[in-house]
Amino acid sequence: MTALRLGLRQLWRDWRAGELTVLLLALIVAVASVSSVNFFTNRIQLALASQSNDLLGGDLVYSSSNPIADEKIATAVATGLKTAATVEFPTMVLAADASQLVALKAVSHTYPLRGRMHIASELFTAAKAVDQVPAPGSVWLANQVLTQLGLKVGDRLTVGAIELVVAAVLISEPEQSGGMLFGFAPRLLMNIDDLPRTQLLQPASRVSYRLLMAGETDRVAALQRDWQKQLGVGERLNNIKDSRPQVQIALQRAEAFLGLAALVSVLLAAAAVAMAA
C-alpha cells in the first residue's frame, strides 16, 4: 500500500510539473497517427480490390465449355450473390458482300456486375458510360468492325441466321479479352435472348460459357472454396488475381507499399513517445 501511495504521489508530482502532459500528448498523437494511417491504408486496399474487379466484370467468374447448369446459378443466388451470364465465341458476320471475323459476346441484362461499358453514338465521337446491354434485335460493334464492313449506326448486319441493327459503337467493356483464343478479333456485343435465333451454337462449336458473380467478400470466398473442389474438365473458376496475373502483381506491390507506410507510421510514433518520455 505504501508503494502504491508513493507511486501516486510521484505521478501527481510529474503531472503538475508538466512532464506527463507531454508524454500524454505524444501518446495521443501517436495513436491518432497510427489509427489514421491504418484506416486510410485499409480504405485504399478495399478501393484497389473493388476497381480491379471492374476489369473482370464481377468478383468471381465460373467458365465452362458447356452451358451453365441451372443448379449452378441457383446455388450462387442462394448464397446471396448477384449473377450475370455471357456466351463467347468467334464467328463471321456479313454486311452486303463483305464479311468480318468477330469475337461475339452475348450477355444477360444484368451484365456487367462490376465496372461499366462505354459506347458512342457514331464513329469517332465522345463515349458515354451505360448501365444497360444491347436491346433484343440490336448489337454494339467495335469500331474496327464498322470500318471493315463500311457500316454506320442504324445499319443492319447478318449474324448467323438473323439480321440485327447496329445500335452503337462499343468503346470499352469489362473483361475485354474474355480469355478467348480469338481475343484479337474485334468485339460484337449482343443480347443473350437473340442468341438461339442466330443458330450459331452447334455441337462442334468452340464456345465459352461464363457465369459472373458478385457480392460480399466472405460469401464469394466461401462459394469459391466449395466450387473449386468440384471443377470438372473444361471448367475454371477465377477471380481477378487468377485471370489477370499483371493485376495481381500490381496489387501485391500496392499492398506492400501500404504496409510499409503503416510500419513507418508505427516507428515514428514509437520514436515520438520515446523522446517525450
Query: Can you say whether the dihedral through the CA atoms of 59, 114, 90, 76 is positive or negative?
Result: positive
How many whole angstroms separate alpha carbon 103 and alpha carbon 167?
A: 17
Average pLDDT value for residue range 79-96: 96
CB 187 within 8 A of CB 88: no
**What is the pLDDT, as a whole number, of residue 55?**
72
Q: Rounded CA gap, 92 and 228, in Å?
A: 35
Kindly tell me if the per-residue pLDDT of 10 is higher than 70: no
* Residue with grid cell 474474355, as numbered in its chain: 178
Q: What is the pLDDT, as a whole number, of residue 127?
A: 94
pLDDT of residue 180: 44
Please give the Cα distance from 277 to 176 (Å, whole number): 58
Grid cell in block for residue 1: 500500500
Beta bridge partners of 100: 93
pLDDT at 244 over 60: no
User: What is the number of helices (H) and of strands (E) in the chain?
Assistant: 8, 11
At which residue does the C-alpha cell 466472405 appear?
A: 218
Strands 98-107 and 156-159: unpaired
* Amino acid present at 60: L
Note the pLDDT tens digit of each residue in 33-68: 667 666 766 666 565 555 655 678 899 999 999 999
The rounded distance, in Å, linking the Cα atoms of 215 and 275 is 47
pLDDT band at 8 (very low <50, low <70, confident <90, very high): low
* Percent above pLDDT 90 for the chain: 55
Torsion of CA 149, 151, 153, 158, to 10 degrees: -60
Instruction: Over range 220-232, report the average pLDDT.
Output: 94
CA distances from 9 to 2, 5, 27, 79 (A): 11, 6, 22, 61
Q: What is the pTM of this model?
A: 0.72
Residues across the chain: 277
pLDDT for 16 equals 55
| Residue 178 pLDDT grade (very low, low, confident, very high; cuts 50, 70, 90) | very low
Sign of CA dihedral 141, 145, 147, 153: negative
pLDDT at 9 over 50: yes
> Could you report the per-residue pLDDT of 107-150, keeping only the tens digit for each?
999 999 998 999 999 998 999 999 999 999 999 999 999 999 99
Residue 150: its pLDDT value, please?
94
DSSP annotation of 206: -
Q: Return the C-alpha cell found at 67.
A: 452451358
Find the mean pLDDT for residues 86-110.
95
Beta bridge partners of 139: 166, 190
pLDDT digits (tens, 9 = 90+) for 13-30: 655 555 556 666 666 766
Q: What is the pLDDT of residue 259?
A: 67
Contact at 8 Å (CB) between 248 and 70? no
Torsion, Cα 243 186 88 98, to 10 degrees, reads: -160
Q: What is the model's pLDDT at position 240?
A: 73
For residue 203, whether the previous peptide bond is cis, meaning omega lies within 30 degrees of 0, is: no
Other CB atoms within 10 A of residue 153 CB: 18
What is the pLDDT averaged over residues 169-182? 69
